Amino acid sequence: MSRHFDAIIIGTGQAGPSLAARFAAAGTTVAIIERHKFGGTCVNTGCIPTKTLVASAYAAHVARRGAEYGFAVNGDVRVDMKRVKARKDEVSGRSNRGVEDWLRGLKNCMVIQGHARFQSPRTVVVNDEVLQAEKLFINVGGRAFVPAMPGIQDVPFLTNSSMMDVDFLPEHLVIVGGSYIGLEFGQMYRRFGSEVTILEMGPRLIGREDEDVSEAVRQILGAEGIQIRLNAKCISLAKRHSRIAVGIGCDEGPPEVLGTHVLLAVGRTPNTHDLCLDRAGVATDERGYIIVDDQLQTNVPGIWALGDCNGRGAFTHTSYNDYEIVADNLLNGDHRRLSDRIQTYALFTDPPLGRCGMTDAEIRKSGRAALAAKHPMSRVSRAVEKGETQGFIKVAVDADTKQILGAAILGTGGDEVVHVLLDLMYAKAPYTVVQRAMHIHPTVTEFLPTVLSKLEPFA
Ligand SMILES: Cc1cc2nc3c(=O)[nH]c(=O)nc-3n(C[C@H](O)[C@H](O)[C@H](O)COP(=O)(O)OP(=O)(O)OC[C@H]3O[C@@H](n4cnc5c(N)ncnc54)[C@H](O)[C@@H]3O)c2cc1C
């Protein structure tokens, strides 16, 4: 015997719950299955807790700079990690409970806790019960990738998930991986008071970004006392008394770093290995990501994959956008497509990096005629007033259409300001629109027309 629903959703990440609510509101019956914590990565071990921790780290950083702003702090600024964690748990926990309460309160929606596995293209098994539906949606997300590096079995290591339980100050945190997650943790723990070393295999940090962005971020982190080792190849781990010795085959510098704790931040891997996808015939790529078409449908009609598990985005906003595309297409008769969305994301270091569209390297590769401009944050009055002048704004536009091709705003407010350019891209409007707009003074955004007035042929 199986229980029948109109739709089954596996996972309560950033797409599943909203999709369940839309189906339920449309009067269709839906079952949503979660094996662990409601809200998934973003809510429990990703965006929400890390940005809450980043806020604590920022507050400590500003307190240490008190003299620059004209105030004194009595004694050293010391971070109480138990209270930092408690604050993080409160913010993250509220969100986690919010998702669960919301789902449980939905009419037409059954919430099931347990691990779902496919039995056939139309059925899944959870807690020994068979559920059946005409439409199935996979929103199972991903987890930290643990590489098979020598010694990995012999030493304790942390991932973004186990970092959530840390309520003490690691004396020396060695972070393997100099990309978005590693850099956010690195700066926050340095500001909490740890010694921090970041090991990056490649020749620069955040290798997907332009070289000037990588270099500026390296300088910002280096100035805070974070040790950065690039070209760190052949990483190995070994126990050395009470410490962990991390061996590095760097071109320069000592061949070993002795840390008290090691955080692995070398990428993510999809949670698709334990779903029995083969029983449904759902195809994955060589890295386990579910292959989807432009409307998120898998190779099996009636099965969609949304969020990180489809490899078409690795952000909360891409997962949520997947939900919007699928829901609008299925419930509103729309024809939305993945390929209509424009790449955008932020690195939430301080200052943050806001990004949209193509990088310089991508523009060069595309062969388009382009114009570009760059403006230092040290010449943005709001940044000067705030005492946060690190970074720059850079924008590239198509020389013929005058449309924005890409932007990187590394600087105070960069994660917000970038949306002006992103929306202009969605509107397919020429950059001259922004030049004629009147902006609020003093803001970072008011400098966009100034930056755009400096456009020159792309080098
Ligand atoms: C440290 C860190 C910081 C991040 N910061 C940001 C940020 O600032 N901004 C941003 O946009 N993104 C950020 N991300 C990425 C973001 O968290 C994810 O892209 C986002 O959570 C989307 O996830 P999802 O919807 O694909 O699924 P997830 O949120 O991963 O949820 C999947 C859910 O499915 C459940 N599940 C899995 N398998 C099964 C099964 N077989 N049966 C039942 N349930 C199952 C899991 O338990 C989980 O709850 C961060 C990620 C990390 C790790």
pLDDT (tens digit, 9 = 90+) per residue, 103-147?
Answer: 999 999 999 999 999 999 999 999 999 999 999 999 999 999 999
| Sheet (strand 243-249) strand order | 233-240, 243-249, 256-259
pLDDT at 1 over 80: no
Mean pLDDT (the chain) is: 97
CB of 323 sitting under 6 A from ligand 1? no
Annotation marks residue 61 as catalytic: no
Q: How confident is the model over 12-47, as pLDDT tens digits?
A: 999 999 999 999 999 999 999 999 999 999 999 999
Mutation to probe ligand 1, out of 45, 48, 140 (largest number of atoms < 8 A from CB): 140
Q: What is the pTM of this model?
A: 0.98
Cα 434 to middle of ligand 1, angstroms: 35
CB of 103 sitting under 6 A from ligand 1? no
The pLDDT-based confidence of 316 (bands split at 50, 70, 90) is very high
How far is residue 13 CA from its own chain's centroid? Answer: 13
The pLDDT-based confidence of 361 (bands split at 50, 70, 90) is very high
Please provide the size of the chain in residues.
Answer: 459
Sequence-separated (6 or more) residues with CB below 8 Å from residue 374:
212, 392, 393, 394, 451, 454
The residue whose C-alpha atom lies closest to atom 39 belonging to ligand 1 is: 140
Instruction: Calculate mean pLDDT across residues 176-184.
Output: 98
CB of 40 sitting under 6 A from ligand 1? yes
Mutation to probe ligand 1, out of 12, 36, 42, 185 (largest number of atoms < 8 A from CB): 42
User: What is the per-residue pLDDT for 75?
Assistant: 87
- Check: CB of residue 155 under 8 Å from CB of residue 32: no
User: What is the per-residue pLDDT for 253?
Assistant: 78
The residue whose C-alpha atom lies closest to atom 17 belonging to ligand 1 is: 42
φ/ψ of 37, rounded to 5, equals -100, 135
CB of 412 sitting under 6 A from ligand 1? no
pLDDT at 200 over 80: yes
| Whole-number Cα distances in Å, 79 to 45, 59, 84, 261 | 21, 10, 8, 18
Q: How confident is the model over 226-259, as pLDDT tens digits?
A: 999 999 988 999 999 999 999 997 667 788 999 9
User: What is the per-residue pLDDT for 252?
Assistant: 74
**Residues 46, 322: Cα–Cα separation, whole Å:** 18
**Residues 398, 400: Cα–Cα separation, whole Å:** 6
- The percent helix, strand, coil of the chain (3-state, each to 5) is 35, 25, 40
User: What is the per-residue pLDDT for 256?
Assistant: 92
Cα 306 to middle of ligand 1, angstroms: 11
Characterize the bridge pairing of strands 243-249 and 233-240: antiparallel
